[in-house]
């Protein structure tokens, strides 16, 4: 990236952050390995502590890809298989679940198992915690009472339907197959080899330094933290904390086959399901295509007080991450980066 282009990128990000009131951090790289990071807004509004490039942010469902990598690592070690059935992987009783539900179904959101938070019909994540207090959600098993006795949404493999509970079940499978707590497994077998030294799973009531507080902005101009709005401890369906630079390291480790070999990396990044006429889904990752071309592999996460987007663009090797401690904003920053890449491509052609 030339100095002039670098300046233009910085200006485009600055304009987008100002126009959308973005609070968070971004990191970007081009095909030549030039990297840029920047941050805006406050990590803690009460203390007026600013977000920095190395600030940790919650990433909600953006960490489902870590769960998928963990599962494929265990498959590579022959601890289970994609065809392994849920009924054979766990000793838990699910009275109404289809016995044909497999690991593949769970990874691709095609299992049909009942979801504890169905984003297609529910829009208020906070309502869940009235019956099941968020401060009790410290282990994956704590989520089971919310959905284990419900009926299937559809037969396994019938269609794609985004499902958080399916990834809770995958986390329990990782624990059973590895003999480790899920979060410990990810930190040892994914974060450590990827050199993601600032990433981890921490409870909201015991966050480390340099971590942004998530904020919910009310219509009347007031605000509150998300401390009582999301589970106190993250897990296999969401809730890890990372930095924008650490997420860039994850993509490098994944694509450099330091987490999975070439065969399993390709399997992770292959479309297995998806929305009809829309984005495809691999294992824990969304896949945008245009014709026969893959435009980007991306992950995203939204919770009250959290918005996150991170992507790899295979056509030019660019990588971009935006993490915010507000309920929106990350998508706008990614859109601004993609607009910048489009403009640069036009200039190259002319």
331 Cβ contact partners less than 8 Å away, ≥ 6 residues apart: 300, 307, 309, 322
DSSP category for residue 106: H
Q: H or E segment at 19?
A: helix 3-20
Residue 7 is predicted with a pLDDT of 78
C-alpha to C-alpha distance for 28 and 250, rounded to whole angstroms:
13
Domain boundaries, the chain: 3-349
Q: What is the CA radius of gyration of the chain?
A: 20
Tokens 């392994």, residue located: 84
Residue 350 is predicted with a pLDDT of 58
Q: What is the mean pLDDT of residues 212-222?
A: 96
Tokens coding 124 = 């208020």
> Helix and strand tally (H, E) in the chain?
10, 14
CA separation, residue 283 to residues 83, 280, 286, 343 (Å): 14, 10, 8, 31
* 157 or 291, greater pLDDT: 157
DSSP category for residue 85: B
How much is the mean pLDDT over the chain? 93
Q: In this predicted model, what pLDDT tens digit does every residue of 12-61 receive, in sequence order?
A: 899 999 999 999 999 999 877 678 999 999 999 999 999 999 999 999 99
Tokens coding 112 = 């049909």
Per-state percent for the chain, helix, strand, coil, to nearest 5: 35, 20, 45
295 Cβ contact partners less than 8 Å away, ≥ 6 residues apart: 288, 289, 313, 315
- Region of 146 (left: φ > 0; alpha: ψ -120 to 50; beta: rest) is alpha
pLDDT range class, residue 133, cuts 50, 70, 90: confident
pLDDT range class, residue 349, cuts 50, 70, 90: low
Q: Sign (positive/negative) of CA torsion 119, 125, 131, 132?
A: positive
CATH class in words for 3-349? alpha beta
Q: In this predicted model, what pLDDT tens digit does every residue of 38-47 receive, in sequence order?
A: 999 999 999 9
Contact 57, 307 (CB under 8 A): no
CA separation, residue 265 to residues 136, 253, 260, 313 (Å): 35, 11, 6, 16
Q: What is the mean pLDDT of residues 210-236?
A: 95
Which residue, among 312, 273, 346, 315, has the nearest Cα to 109 in the 3D structure? 273
Q: H or E segment at 290?
A: strand 286-290
pLDDT tops 80 at residue 165: yes
């Amino acid at each position: 990236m030339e100095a002039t282009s670098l300046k233009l990128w910085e200006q485009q990000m600055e304009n987008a952050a100002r126009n959308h009131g973005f609070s968070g951090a971004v990191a970007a790289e081009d095909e030549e390995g030039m990297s840029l990071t920047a941050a805006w807004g406050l990590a803690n509004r009460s203390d007026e502590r600013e977000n920095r490039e190395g600030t940790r942010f919650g990433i909600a469902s953006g960490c489902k890809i870590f769960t998928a990598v963990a599962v494929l690592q265990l498959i590579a070690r022959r601890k289970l298989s994609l065809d392994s059935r849920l009924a054979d992987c766990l000793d838990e009783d699910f009275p109404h679940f289809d016995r044909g539900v497999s690991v593949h179904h769970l990874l691709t959101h095609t299992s049909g198992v009942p979801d504890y938070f169905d984003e297609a019909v529910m829009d208020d994540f906070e309502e869940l915690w009235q019956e099941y207090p968020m401060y009790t959600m410290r282990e994956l098993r704590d989520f089971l009472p919310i959905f284990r006795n419900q009926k299937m949404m559809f037969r396994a493999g019938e269609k794609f339907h985004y499902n958080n509970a399916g990834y809770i079940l995958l986390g329990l499978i990782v624990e059973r197959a590895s003999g480790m707590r899920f979060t410990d497994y990810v930190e040892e077998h994914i974060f450590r080899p990827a050199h993601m030294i600032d990433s981890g799973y921490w409870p909201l009531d015991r966050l480390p330094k340099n971590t942004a507080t998530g904020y919910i902005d009310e219509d009347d101009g007031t605000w509150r933290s998300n401390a009582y709005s999301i589970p106190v401890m993250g897990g296999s369906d969401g809730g890890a904390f990372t930095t924008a630079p650490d997420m860039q390291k994850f993509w490098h480790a994944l694509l450099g086959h330091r987490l999975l070999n070439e065969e399993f990396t390709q399997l992770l990044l292959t479309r297995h399901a998806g929305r009809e006429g829309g984005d495809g889904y691999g294992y824990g990752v969304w896949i945008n295509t245009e014709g026969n071309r893959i435009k980007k592999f991306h992950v995203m996460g939204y919770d009250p007080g959290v918005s996150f987007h991170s992507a790899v663009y295979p056509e030019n090797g660019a990588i971009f991450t935006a993490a915010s401690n507000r309920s929106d904003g990350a998508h706008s920053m990614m859109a601004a980066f993609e607009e910048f890449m489009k403009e640069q491509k036009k200039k190259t052609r002319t």
